[in-house]
Amino acid sequence: MRIALAQLNPIVGDIAHNTRLIIDAARRARDGGARLCVFPELIIPGYPPKDLLLKPSFIDENIGALETIARAVPEIHLIVGFADRNPSPVGRPLFNAVAVLHGGHIRSRHYKTLLPTYDVFDESRYFEPGPPELGHHVAVIDDIRFGISICEDLWNDERLIARRLYHHNPIADLDAAGADVLINCSASPFVLDKHAFRIKLFGSQAERFSMPLVYVNQVGGNDELVFDGNSVVFDARGKVIAHASDFSSDLLLCNIPTAASSSNQDGNRIDCPRVGLDSVLEALKLGLRDYVEKCRFPSVVLGLSGGIDSALVAAIATLALGPDRVVGIAMPSRFSSEHSINDARDLAANLGIAFHIVPIRDVHSAYEQLLTPYWDGRAPDVTEENLQARVRGAILMAFSNKFNHLLLTTGNKSEIAVGYCTLYGDMCGGLAVISDVPKTMVWDLSRHINNTAGRTLIPVSSIDKVPSAELRPNQTDQDSLPPYPMLDGIIERYVENERAPAEIVADGYDPAVVDRVIRLIDRSEYKRRQAAPGIKVTSRAFGFGRRMPIAQNYVPGKQ
């Protein structure tokens, strides 16, 4: 049977736009000879719609769009994700649903059973789990019984998931119901190395139940999340027989075998997904590009210090948007070195972006003269250093206001973790591009960009220099922080893996350093709560997926 996988990039809440995308893809699938076209989870409202789902008019419009789509392309079977109402007076008011459309009508509805409520997911806030009598029946299309599931329903294989969150496996239910082919409509966000596990998990499910499996994923950036696409088809032996592109919209036409003995898959396309640093770079580019486009900003602006973090963000922005939409501003103080200004200038020239130098020496001095009489002879400290960052933040926001640039912040995950950043200073901005990128990965990504380009985009001196905020004479980051490889190792264990201090020490880290880093991480929560949204690329990012209290006094291992 010839089917199409419609890997689309929706705009959350723009039901009219998403409807046009769906209809266009359905018509192209029809014209390509497909009998069935499968779309991602909640493709009509876009994923994640969050509290838009609490608006009755939004639900009405998304259901109305489903009917519009059915009438627009009656010749082909469609499986389309939407939010459906729960008619029961008990339970959450909605179902996370897909509908089978054909002949201008809604033929059947199928409901998600397993609702993720962890990390960035909060589906139990809105949706009721699909009851078996509604959610587990199969759809018969051209005499083939398709077992339809939605995203998380496929993520409960006890053989590969050490601690399962759910008590049953909906795929086993579909098998018991007599399905011939498995369909999974997903909105599965990118995390480094996640797709390799998808291939292993989904292939295992296909092999276990001896059925072909069709997985269709959303693509695109929506706020903090990036969806990588990578839609894929497996045969009944768990072998990949078709694979869509990654990080871009795609319509994958595929011949699938409809029985375990069949191998009618000639001509199927199998794209190779990016891995490692390549995948992280593509995720950051896509997340930045879509944030700018979907929030309707014409361009971006950022401060260029001559350091590696701002250089990496500028390079990502240029690769994502083009040089004509990126503006860099150097703001030297009396502590800025000449080589930092030169590095910023060289970076802008290498990237071909607009570049301005706005010295802050006089403004910083004016602040000090204004405030010193009120400080009662107190010695200079971090206050004066932070004034520089706040002056720079104000200047960058002025450029943002005047030209409608989106201001990009340039702090990395390592700095944000321990609060090595200034509120209302370098934290000013609308998007924190590398806030989930550890410092050690910042260096790796920068070298990778140069290697991939085949020329120097990010100056080698910015990569090789000792990191410094240049807020006082001869300052380096390691005056205040452990070496970054050590710091990143502790952050990964404590934040991403939730390891106890004793376990981290057992891995070879100095106990005093571990205690200090953990204390800094926990005390900096109030800063992170006020930070710009950042693009998630690791398994545990700071932001709405990590919900820690601010006013708390838990000290790990000290109770």
Q: Is the pLDDT of residue 263 over 90?
A: no
**Among residues of the chain, what percentage have pLDDT more than 70?**
94
Spatial strand order in the sheet of 105-111? 105-111, 94-102, 77-85, 36-38, 2-7, 250-255
For the stretch 477-530, pLDDT in tens is 666 789 999 999 999 999 999 999 999 999 999 999 999 999 999 999 999 999
Q: What is the dihedral of CA 113, 117, 119, 122, to 10 degrees?
A: 100
Superfamily per CATH, domain 2-273: Carbon-nitrogen hydrolase (3.60.110.10)
Confidence band (pLDDT; 50, 70, 90) for 420? very high
Mean pLDDT of 241-250: 97
CA distances to 195, 214, 473 from 244, rounded to whole Å, are 12, 11, 53
Confidence band (pLDDT; 50, 70, 90) for 555? confident
For the purposes of burial, counting CB atoms within 10 Å of the CB of 381, is it exposed (0-12), middle (13-18) or buried (19 or more)? exposed
pLDDT of the residue at 246: 97
Mean pLDDT of 449-472: 84
Confidence band (pLDDT; 50, 70, 90) for 376? confident
| Active-site annotation holds for 224 | no
CB atoms inside a 10 Å sphere around CB 312: 28
Query: How many whole angstroms separate alpha carbon 311 and alpha carbon 305?
Result: 8
pLDDT of the residue at 134: 54
| Active-site annotation holds for 200 | no
What fold, for 280-529? Answer: Rossmann fold (3.40.50)
CA distances to 304, 480, 516 from 418, rounded to whole Å, are 22, 10, 10
Nearest to 154 by CA among 95, 91, 231: 231
Confidence band (pLDDT; 50, 70, 90) for 266? low
Hey, what are 76's tokens?
């082909």
Q: Is the pLDDT of residue 165 over 80?
A: no
> Please, what is the average pLDDT of the chain?
92
pTM: 0.94
* Tokens 């339970």 found at: 91
Hey, what are 150's tokens?
């939605």
Instruction: Tell me which of 38-42, 248-252, 262-266, 474-478 is least confident.
Output: 262-266
**Among residues of the chain, what percentage have pLDDT more than 90?**
81
pLDDT of the residue at 499: 94
Catalytic one of 37, 112, 224, 294: 112
| Active-site annotation holds for 112 | yes
Hey, what are 353's tokens?
């972006």
Hey, what are 398's tokens?
């002025």
Q: Is the pLDDT of residue 262 over 70?
A: no
For the purposes of burial, counting CB atoms within 10 Å of the CB of 559, is it exposed (0-12), middle (13-18) or buried (19 or more)? exposed
For the stretch 195-238, pLDDT in tens is 999 999 999 999 999 999 999 999 999 999 999 999 999 999 99
Provide the residue ranges of all domains of the chain, joining segments of one domain with +. 2-273, 280-529
pLDDT of the residue at 162: 67
- Contact (CB, 8 A) for 252 and 4: yes
Catalytic one of 37, 123, 128, 151: 151
pLDDT of the residue at 261: 43
For the stretch 317-365, pLDDT in tens is 999 999 999 999 999 988 877 788 999 999 999 999 999 999 999 999 9
Residue type, 301: V
Q: Is the pLDDT of residue 558 over 90?
A: no
Q: Is the pLDDT of residue 67 over 50?
A: yes
Q: Is the pLDDT of residue 406 over 70?
A: yes
Catalytic one of 41, 152, 385, 470: 41
For the stretch 143-157, pLDDT in tens is 999 999 999 989 877
Nearest to 540 by CA among 46, 194, 165: 194
